[in-house]
Amino acid sequence: MQIRELKIPDSYEITPKQFGDDRGLFLEAYRFDRLEEATGRSIKLAQVNTSVSKRGSVRGIHFADVPPSQAKYVMCPRGAVLDFVIDIRVGSPTFGQWDSVLLDDVDRRAIFISEGLGHCFVALTDDATVTYLVNDVYRPDREHGINPLDPEIGLVFPEEAGTPLLSPKDTEAPGLAEAAAAGLLPTWEAARAYYDSLKGN
């Protein structure tokens, strides 16, 4: 398993080693100890989510109040998605920037996204199945969104995704500047303090 930090601090790409034979293959999709070695913390599993999306479907940009928010360990066991992490932490050196990882059923990579970061993906195939492990249950009163088509963020969707298909909730979500002005966004200081409180636990 190889783990590398992305351009956005506190987000990581995980590439598992796959072992194949004439029966198929085997891989370790998640290792708490390897994640802890790379990040200083692991996931205390609270909920597992799965979505199935048609090609072009966009889910996000979603985030939750810090603390506790949700850390996410995201995989795509079927099909392919381009997964985005967006830095929405006010005061962060990479505020407003993003990075992406191709998640598919070939390389079987995963992405780990710390609390307070924005998360979004676009399905590149029909029946793209995404599973993510999270360290807190869904709390609708603490959940927020940012419009994934906000030009200030400038997410780039591959041509193979086709026309973006958004839910009404994501279509009506505010842009980054509007969310910041409304005081919805987490701060860099609060997020970092929360990460520090999780280390060694």
Residues 1-19 have pLDDT tens digits of 999 999 999 999 999 999 9
Per-domain boundaries in the chain: 2-198
> Is-contact 7 97, C-beta < 8 A?
yes
Residue ranges of alpha helices (H) inside 109-187 are 168-171, 176-181
CATH assignment of 2-198, among 3.40.120.10, 1.10.10.350, 3.40.50.2000, 2.60.120.10: 2.60.120.10
pLDDT tens sequence across 13-51: 999 999 999 999 999 999 999 999 999 987 899 999 999
Q: State the pLDDT at residue 42.
A: 79
Looking at the predicted structure, is the pLDDT value of residue 99 above 90?
A: yes
Average pLDDT over residues 121-144: 96
Output the pTM of the full model: 0.95
* Residue 81 to residue 103: CA distance in whole angstroms: 5
132 has catalytic annotation: yes
**What is the band of 152 on the pLDDT scale with cuts at 50, 70, 90?**
very high
Looking at the predicted structure, is the pLDDT value of residue 193 above 70?
A: yes
Which of the residues 12, 132, 144, 195 is marked catalytic? 132
